[in-house]
């Protein structure tokens, strides 16, 4: 039997190597969130009803969670789509335990990339805005579980998309749908402004809960205005994100097993 420790060692080192290769692409990943943070900076004086915060401040945690959606979920989906076509996945399958090493490496490198972009965007936001509650120990604690959990909830969805989709064009369509999802996930403005039906849609997906968690950490007081009972909601966030992580991983593994066979079949001339 091959020990898991051995396999995790290989997967981890693969992830680190891939991260090093992708560090240059970090610029692509932070371009839009940086732009968005600057736009929010311009809105720093537009007050959010019933709070001491501005609309700009309110939206920054949303930008951070949306960035995880695009860096993590979309990033891994598009790499997978590409590497299914260019033979990287096929090469992995020709190696003993190669597929496992490949996916572990992919998850590790993309998660680290998420962390790197998060750090850059957060640092920028902290410089531009006052009043984010990151000095509080509870805030840091919340961030320390909600971010990894959010990433783990989103990456498997990206893996599923990357294995099921046939063409990069279809991925652009998915990205359009995700833009729609951000509208009903309370990313830029309170979810309570949406109709109750759309609120329910938003709450079914991890983006809402990740945003909620990040916002709860950075702007603890705003939550009290928007929603009731912060701690109960944080528990809900943890629960929903965990469910997505587990179901998503199971689906990812299933889809990978079947789709990589199809991918080989399509190679036929």
Partner 1 sequence: MKWAETPTIEATGLTMNYGQGAVLKGIDLTLHTGEVLALLGPNGAGKTTTVEILEGFRKRSGGEVRVLGTDPDHGDEAWKARLGIVLQSWRDHRKWRVRELLAHIGRYYQVYSTTERPRPYDADELLEQVGLEEQAMRPVAKLSGGQRRRLDVAIGLVGNPEVLFLDEPTVGFDPEARSDFHALISRLTEERKTSILLTTHDLREAETLSHRIAILMNGRISAEGSAQELAARYSGSVAVSYFIRDDEYHQRLAHDEVTDYLCSLLERAGPMISGLRVEPSSLEDTYLCMVREEKSADATAELSSLEV
| 47: three-class secondary structure by DSSP | strand
Question: Which residues lie below 8 Å from residue 144, measured CB to CB, with a gap of 6+?
Answer: none
Closest CA to 108 of 206, 254, 8: 8
Q: Which of 28, 31, 46, 86 binds partner 1 (CB under 8 A)?
A: 86
Dihedrals φ, ψ of 131, to 5°? Answer: 95, 5
Residue 136 or 262 having the CB closest to partner 1:
262
Does position 97 bind partner 1 by CB under 8 A? yes
Candidate ranges 95-103, 131-139, 143-151, 216-224; the one touching partner 1 (CB under 8 A): 95-103
Annotate each residue in 16-35 with x if it binds partner 1 (CB under 8 A) or - if it does not, as one string. Answer: -x---xx-------------
Residue 22 or 142 having the CB closest to partner 1? 22
Residues 246-265, interacting with partner 1 (CB under 8 A): 264-265
**What six digits make up the tokens of 202?**
């938003």
Contact 81, 168 (CB under 8 A): yes
Which residue carries 């080989």 as its tokens? 264
- Distance, in Å, from the CA atom of 233 to the CA atom of 227, rounded to the nearest integer, reads 8
The residues near 214 (Cβ < 8 Å, ≥ 6 apart) are 61, 62, 64, 65, 143, 146, 147, 150
- Which residues have C-beta within 8 Å of that of residue 9, sequence separation ≥ 6? none
CB closer to partner 1 out of 44 and 97: 97
Site residues for partner 1, 110-129, by CB under 8 A, read: none
Among 8, 12, 13, 198, indicate the residue that binds partner 1 (CB under 8 A): 13
Q: Which stretch binds partner 1 (CB under 8 A): 10-18, 59-67, 146-154, 200-208?
A: 10-18
Compute the least distance from the CB of residue 255 to partner 1, in Å: 18
In whole angstroms, the minimum distance from the beta carbon of 6 to partner 1 comes to 6
| Nearer to partner 1 among residue 105 and residue 202 (C-beta) | 105
| Short-list 93, 74, 72, 75, CA closest to 265 | 93
- In sequence order, the 6+-apart residues with CB closer than 8 A to the CB of 190 are 48, 58, 226
Q: Which residues bind partner 1 (CB under 8 A)?
A: 2-3, 6, 10, 13-14, 17, 21-22, 83, 86-88, 90-91, 93-98, 101, 264-265, 268-269
């Amino acid at each position: 039997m091959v020990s898991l420790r051995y396999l995790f060692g290989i997967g981890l080192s693969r992830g680190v190597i891939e991260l090093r290769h992708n560090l240059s692409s970090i610029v692509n990943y932070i371009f839009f969130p940086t732009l968005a943070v600057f736009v929010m900076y311009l809105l720093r004086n537009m007050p959010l009803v019933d709070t001491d915060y501005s609309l700009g401040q309110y939206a920054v945690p949303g930008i951070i969670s949306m960035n995880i959606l695009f860096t993590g979920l979309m990033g891994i989906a598009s790499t997978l789509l590409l590497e299914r076509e260019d033979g990287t996945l096929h090469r992995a399958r020709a190696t003993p335990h190669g597929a496992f090493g490949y996916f572990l490496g992919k998850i590790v490198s993309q998660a680290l990339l998420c962390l790197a972009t998060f750090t850059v965007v957060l640092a920028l936001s902290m410089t531009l805005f006052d009043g984010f509650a990151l000095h509080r120990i509870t805030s840091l604690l919340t961030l320390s579980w909600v971010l990894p959990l959010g990433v783990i909830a989103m990456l498997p969805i990206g893996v599923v998309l990357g294995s099921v989709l046939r063409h990069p064009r279809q991925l652009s369509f998915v990205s359009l749908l995700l833009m729609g999802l951000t509208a009903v996930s309370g990313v830029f403005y309170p979810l309570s402004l949406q109709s109750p039906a759309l609120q329910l849609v938003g709450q079914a997906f991890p983006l809402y809960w990740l945003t909620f968690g990040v916002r709860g950490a950075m702007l603890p007081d705003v939550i009290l205005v928007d929603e009731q009972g912060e701690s109960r909601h944080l528990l809900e966030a943890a629960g929903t994100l965990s469910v997505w992580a587990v179901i998503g991983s199971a689906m990812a593994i299933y889809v990978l097993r079947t789709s990589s066979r199809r991918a080989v079949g399509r190679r036929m001339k």
